[in-house]
Each structure stands twice: as C-alpha cells, then as structure tokens.
Chain A
Amino acid sequence: MVTSNSSTPQSSSHPEGDDSGKSSGSQDSNRSSAMFSGCSSLGSVLVVDDEPDVRKVIRMTLEKCGYHVIEAEDGDEAIKVLNSGENPILVDTIITDIRMPKINGVEAITYFQREYPSMPLVVLTGYPDLDMATSFMRQGIVDYLVKPVEKERLKVTVAKAIEQRQLSWT
C-alpha cells in the first residue's frame, strides 16, 4: 500500500516547506516523525478548507487517530498537492469544504472525480443544504458532513473512506 507505507521514498514528490503539515510542508518529515514515535500512519488525509482554525481542529483529531494530515486552503492548492512530484497520488482520501475562494470545493470535487476517480471524497461543510448533499452523494462521495462534526463521526467517516481506498487497490 503506497500511501500507508511510511518508508516509501517519496521525497521527490513532496511539496517543499516546513513540517507543519500544510500543503507546503514536507511529507517526508511528517512521516519520519510518525515513524520515530513508533506509530505507523493509518493513511494520508488531504484536508481542504479556507479556515486555518478549522484545518487545525481536523488535523488534531485525525493525527491523534494515527492519520497523516496534509492541508490545503482551497481547491487550487489541493490540486497542486495532488499533482506535485512524480507520484501524484500521495493521499488516501480528501476531506473538502465547498465554499472557498479561488477554485471552490464544488469545482474541485468535479476535478478530483474526473482525474482521480478512485479517490474517496468526503465533503465537510458549514452549509446544511439537503439538495446539495443529495447531489454529491449521487456523484459517489463517501459522505456529506455538516459542521460542526463530532470527532467520532469524523473518525468513522475517514475510516470508511480509507477502507474504500484500500479496496480500490485490490
């Protein structure tokens, strides 16, 4: 499993930067850190949201569960993360907001599903829009979560998405 194997040399495909885990961060340093702590990552999650404190909360929740988290502040940055390096598919699932500047989540989701059809997608948004939720579910996303989301619900959804990702590789 490429994305869950922390020892896979992928430095050339990682974005440059600090190890804060943002899209500009170094995935190698994060994965090394995870290895040093004795925990192997359960998978990589790309979190796309324009609010830094929301990304921070999600990162905290998922890292405590053992996931490796990459951040992007909008759809444009998320696409750059996915397309960076030789092996563009560095994540196991994407959690994305919808209402964002530049390329918004709706456009980004369309892009992800077209370019990475086996990539599980989770929408995490502040919009309690039933029509939009139905539409996205019909498009095949894993789940449409409306903020605020309790950590247990988030954990279950991410686990379901990772499992779906693993099945796609078999």
Chain B
Amino acid sequence: MTHPGRLKVAVLGGDQETLPLLELLGHLHDIQIVGLSSHSDPVGVTPSATPPPIPVFQDPGALIDGSKPNLLIDTTGKAFFLDSAKNQSENGIEILGGKGARLLLDLAEQEHQVRGQISHTEKLATIGTMVLGIAHDINNPLHVILGFSENLCEEPNVDEVHEQAREIHQAAKRIITMCGDLTGYARQGFGQQRQMVDLGTQLDESLKIAHYATSFDGLSVIKSYSPCAQVLAKAEELTQIFVNLVLNAVHAMEGKGTLTLSSESSVGKVCIKVQDTGHGISPDHLPKIFEPFYTTKPAGKGTGLGLHSVRTLVQKNQGEIFVESQIGQGTCFHLEFPNPCRQDS
C-alpha cells in the first residue's frame, strides 16, 4: 500500500550489498521502498522476508512499470540497467546511479556498522553492570566446590565421597549454565539469521539475564504471554531489547513493586508491554529518553545509550516503540512488530 506524501523508491540491484541501504531507507518514514530488481536471484535478500514484502522484479522495466517509483536507485553500475533505466527519466522518474549510488551504498554500510557498534557497546555496558552479580552467582557454587573438594582429600567414608562429588558436579553445572547464558548474551550476533521467535520465550530469557544484573528481591513479576505472539527477528536482538527495558523497570521500582510482561497477537501485528510501578518519567524527560547519551542516572551509572539502542533495534525489525508514564505510578513501554503469521490471535 502506498502512503500519500511519501517518496516512492525502487532499487536496482537487490543483493547482499544493498541490505544496509534497504535497512536505512526502511527507517525513514518519508520513504517507501516500492520495488526491488536484482540481476541475480534475489532469494535470501531481506525484502522477501520482511513484512510487508517488497515486490521483487527480474526485469528493470517491469520494476518501473510495476512499482511506479519517484526515485530509482541503481546500485548495479551495469550498463544494461543504466541504459534501460535512463529511458525512464523522461517519465519523471529521478535516477540515482553511478558514483552517487555507490556513495549512498557506502554511507548506508557505514551507518549500519555504527548502529551495530552502538548496540554492542550498550550491550557490553549492560554486562559491565552485571559484574558484581555475576561474581556473586559464580562465587557461591565455587564455594561449594572448594569446600567439598577440600574435605574429599581426607574423607574416608565412600558414601560421603559420592554425595559430595554429586554436590560438586551440580555446582559446576550451575557455573557452566551461567557462563553459557552470559556468553550467549554478549555475542555480537554477526551472521545470525532472522527466524520466527516466540516472544514469551524471549521475555523469559531476558528475565534470566536481567537477574544477573540486578536484584529482584521485593518485586513481583506478572507474565501474560500469548502463545501466538511471534516475530521474525534475530533472537539476540530481541533479548537485548527486553533486557534493557526490564532493567530500566527494575531500577525504577527501587526494590518494591510489580513488573508486568505481556505479549499478544492480533491481525497484522504483535504487541509487547513492559510495565513497572516505579517512580515514572516526568513529562519534561519523556520526549528525550530515546535520544543517544540522554540519561537521568548519576555520572558513571549509565551510558545513555540504552533506550536509544532499544529503539534502533526495534525499528531495525520493522517495529515501533511507544512509552506511557505517570509520575509516582509507573511506566509502560509498548512495542509493536509486524505479525509474520498474519492471523487473528
């Protein structure tokens, strides 16, 4: 569907190299990608998997006739496409090709890299806040391992030896699980493909990671997950989104309150809510919370990139994020993503 007032853009040359460009254009609300043409088989390129799917044409002529763009970006640099497309300039279609298109591709690639670095930096910063919690959670089973192994050096009773060996084994497994959780969270996710991800599972995964970063003592957690709520995305990106929101919610409640996580599915979209009963965000701060480096935390306590990264990742997955908040009552982050199932809940 074409929205009036938006610039209709068609891209010639839909291969892996154009993915950052398509991603960048997808973030711009004034632009709509109406068609894609690839000299090679476009299967595997994002557009076919991204709802709403971008029409793919094998022939540049068909691309232009079918999508009727205002702007044609020719990323191929091939004479065949250029000649064919140049004929369309007479029909009022602006064409960006050659060095201009090449420059745009390079800028899009650089922007993609920077966004990825910011996102990863924020993830590492979150892991940094988890250090004490991680040390605590590893030191406890280590104490069990140390204590029982010290005793086993002198223990004559075979039954006791077996019992304590089992305790050591269980403690070691706890540490292995913990390291696996944290390693998985820290991974950059390069090369990860988008897949159907169950939102309830990802919300639970984020809760598990968030427990390493902060104490949930004194807090109630309410979960309401729709079994049909799924998103086509990279699971680790969703985990990062939810971990950020959960940690913000827990910190806002300062050891007392209720955290509510919910997911639901409806025609065309899936919705996630992360709601707390914390101190809320003032109307003065609310418009700025997604800005990079904006933080209300004391110096050294936050990068100011958390919510900026959250919004970036949400938009990267064709989603939107909204926030409602009232001082003294709490805050609710509301996320919407396209429903890949396209069915009623």
Give me the interface of A with B, judged by CB distance under 8 Å. 51, 53-54, 56-58, 60-61, 64, 99-102, 104, 125-129, 146-151
Contact = CB atoms under 8 A, between A and B. Distances in A.
A53 B139 contact: no
A151 B139 contact: no
Chain B interface mostly? helix
Contacts of B215: 99
B167 A56 contact: yes
Interface centre among B136, B142, B150 (most CB of A within 10 A): B136
B145 A148 contact: yes
B151 interface: yes
A101 B216 CA distance: 9
B171 interface: yes
Smallest CB-CB A-B distances: 5 pairs: A57-B147, A126-B139, A126-B136, A147-B143, A148-B143
Contacts of A64: 151
A41 to B, nearest CB: 20
Interface string B132-146: 100111111111111
Given A126-B137, A126-B139, A149-B143, A57 B132 contact: no
17 contacts: A51-B140, A51-B144, A53-B141, A53-B144, A53-B170, A56-B167, A57-B167, A99-B136, A125-B139, A127-B132, A127-B136, A146-B139, A147-B143, A148-B146, A148-B147, A150-B146, A151-B150
Interface residues of B, number: 22
Nearest to B164: A60
Contact of A150 (B140, B144, B150): B150
Interface of B: 132, 135-148, 150-151, 167, 170-171, 215, 217
A61 B151 contact: yes
B136 A149 contact: no
A147 B144 CA distance: 9
Given A126-B143, A147-B140, 4 more contacts: A57-B167, A60-B151, A147-B139, A148-B139
Contacts of A102: 217
A89 to B, nearest CB: 28
A54 B143 contact: yes
Given A60-B151, A126-B138, A104 B144 contact: no
B149 to A, nearest CB: 10
A126 B147 contact: no
